């Protein structure tokens, strides 16, 4: 009886653990094939750099060493989507009224009126790999930006019309064991 109870507790703990994943774009024979989806300055980009960081003065260098912040992880993906972060309160992902894929600032729940917070669906391949896919209702597109952040990502909500030069893409997920940043 005791070992059964212990086993149940173990299962409960495992289930309660946050599952993190990274996202890579997929559109074969295009310049946006296999680029990482990166959070930077409140928006998302394919390729380019992530703006993750860690308040070492508050939590110590040793803790911060685990969260280099130079890549982007996500959490959730069943309806809503969040960034894979450790900062209390997390950081929510949403599609702004102008279509820009966006995320909330740390320590703030502010999301502009008229934003779309749901429509996400992560499905796993169930083939023993850590791979899956992530969809957004209406789809995702990437539009050319500049040399530093080559492609900005938009969600195709009703009011968004992709300008010429934007490319739709699929999102491949890969499970990872930990958050990549304290916050973005
Ligand atoms: C943390 O790292 C910074 C930069 O490397 C260093 O200046 C600081 O002294 C370190 N702080 C502690 C508490 O180790
Ligand atoms: C991120 O930084 C860590 C530590 O500096 C380094 O080991 C890792 O290779 C970097 N990852 C990427 C994707 O640049
Ligand atoms: C996704 O969310 C729905 C509704 O909240 C829930 O019924 C379902 O079990 C969830 N699916 C997974 C895989 O967690
Ligand atoms: C998510 O996608 C899976 C596989 O395509 C589908 O079976 C499921 O109904 C979808 N869930 C939602 C909430 O759309
Ligand atoms: C990947 O994470 C999901 C939860 O988000 C989990 O259901 C699935 O089993 C994981 N896949 C692997 C291969 O660990
Ligand atoms: C590139 O675009 C990003 C996002 O719009 C912007 O923050 C950055 O300042 C731009 N960089 C240059 C060199 O124009
Ligand atoms: C689309 O934009 C118009 C004008 O800004 C607004 O009135 C309308 O509510 C928006 N529709 C949706 C679905 O957000």
Q: pLDDT tens, 55-83?
A: 999 999 999 999 999 999 999 999 999 99
Asked if the structure places residue 146 within a domain, the reply is yes
Q: Which helix (H) or strand (E) holds 62?
A: helix 61-64
Q: Residue 67's CB: how many other CB atoms inside 10 A?
A: 22
Predicted TM-score (pTM) of the model is 0.89
User: Which one of 49, 149, 184 would you pick to mutate in the ligand 6 pocket, going by the greatest count of ligand atoms within 8 A of its CB?
Assistant: 149
Total domain count for the chain? Answer: 1
Cβ contacts of residue 161 below 8 Å, gap of 6+?
Answer: none
Asked if the structure places residue 129 within a domain, the reply is yes
Q: Is the pLDDT of residue 36 over 80?
A: yes
Q: What percent of the chain is predicted at pLDDT more than 90?
A: 90
What is the arithmetic mean of pLDDT over 38-63? 95
Distance 161 CA to ligand 7 centre (A): 13
Distance CA(149)–CA(137), nearest Å, equals: 25
User: Which one of 16, 18, 75, 78 would you pick to mutate in the ligand 3 pocket, going by the greatest count of ligand atoms within 8 A of its CB?
Assistant: 78
51 or 1, which is more confident:
51
Q: Is there an atom of ligand 1 within 6 Å of 56 CB?
A: yes
Asked if the structure places residue 168 within a domain, the reply is yes
Q: pLDDT at position 17, please? A: 58
Q: pLDDT at position 75, please? A: 98
What is the number of residues in the chain? 184
Q: Is the pLDDT of residue 7 over 60?
A: no
Asked if the structure places residue 161 within a domain, the reply is yes
Distance 108 CA to ligand 1 centre (A): 27
Q: Is the pLDDT of residue 120 over 50?
A: yes
User: Exposed, middle or buried by CB within 10 Å (0-12, 13-18, 19+), for 184?
Assistant: buried
Q: pLDDT at position 14, please? A: 43
Q: Which residue ranges have their beta carbon within 6 Å of ligand 6?
A: 41, 145-146, 148-149
Can you give the residue range of the structural domain that contains 68?
2-176
Q: pLDDT at position 18, please? A: 74
Q: What is the CATH number of the domain that holds 23?
A: 2.80.10
Q: Is there an atom of ligand 1 within 6 Å of 177 CB?
A: no
142 or 11, which is more confident:
142
The runs of H, that is alpha helices, within 21-91 are 56-59, 61-64
Asked if the structure places residue 18 within a domain, the reply is yes
Q: Is the pLDDT of residue 124 over 70?
A: yes
Asked if the structure places residue 184 within a domain, the reply is no
């Amino acid at each position: 009886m005791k070992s059964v109870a212990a086993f149940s507790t173990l299962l409960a703990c495992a289930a309660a653990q946050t599952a993190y994943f990274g996202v890579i774009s997929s559109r074969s024979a295009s310049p946006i094939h296999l680029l990482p989806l990166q959070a930077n300055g409140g928006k998302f980009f394919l390729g380019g750099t992530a703006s993750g960081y860690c308040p070492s003065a508050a939590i110590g260098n040793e803790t911060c060493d685990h969260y280099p912040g130079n890549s982007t992880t996500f959490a959730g993906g069943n309806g809503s989507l969040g960034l894979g972060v450790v900062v209390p309160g997390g950081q929510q992902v949403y599609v702004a009224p102008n279509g820009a894929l966006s995320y909330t600032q740390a320590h703030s729940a502010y999301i502009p009126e008229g934003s779309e917070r749901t429509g996400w669906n992560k499905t796993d391949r169930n083939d023993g790999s850590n791979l899956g896919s992530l969809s957004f209702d209406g789809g995702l597109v990437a539009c050319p930006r500049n040399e530093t952040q080559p492609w900005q990502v938009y969600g195709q909500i009703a009011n968004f019309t992709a300008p010429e030069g934007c490319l739709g893409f699929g999102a491949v997920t890969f499970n990872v064991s930990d958050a990549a940043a304290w916050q973005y």
